[in-house]
Amino acid sequence: PYLDRQIMAIAPRLIVTLGRYSTAYIFSRAGLTFKGITDARGKFYNASFLGLEVMVFPTFHPAAGLYSGSYRQILIEDFRKLKVKVSEMKLA
């Protein structure tokens, strides 16, 4: 698929998945067990994806924050965690 080719071309160290569908896809290709976005979100997972060693960070799709104040707060917390990790990994 196109997404796989793009990931191979970019060879990212960190993949942030936004929402259930993208998380389920990346988890399935990386051999990770996906129990749902609510369970997976906000955690960092080390994975092998198409031969690349990557870290995966799932969170809710940003549109969820538009519909629910509680999701909005969770998204803010998740992106704060992500900011710290990006800094630690010297990605920015």
* CA-CA-CA-CA torsion sign (36, 42, 47, 50): positive
77 vs 3: CA distance, rounded Å = 27
What is the widest separation between alpha-carbon atoms in the chain? Answer: 39
CATH dotted code for 2-88: 3.40.470.10
Q: Where are the domains of the chain?
A: 2-88
Task: Read off the pTM.
Answer: 0.94
The string of pLDDT tens digits covering residues 13-31 is 999 999 999 999 999 999 9
24 contacts 41 by C-beta, under 8 angstroms:
no
- pLDDT tens digits, residue range 20-70? 999 999 999 999 999 999 999 999 999 999 999 999 999 999 999 999 889
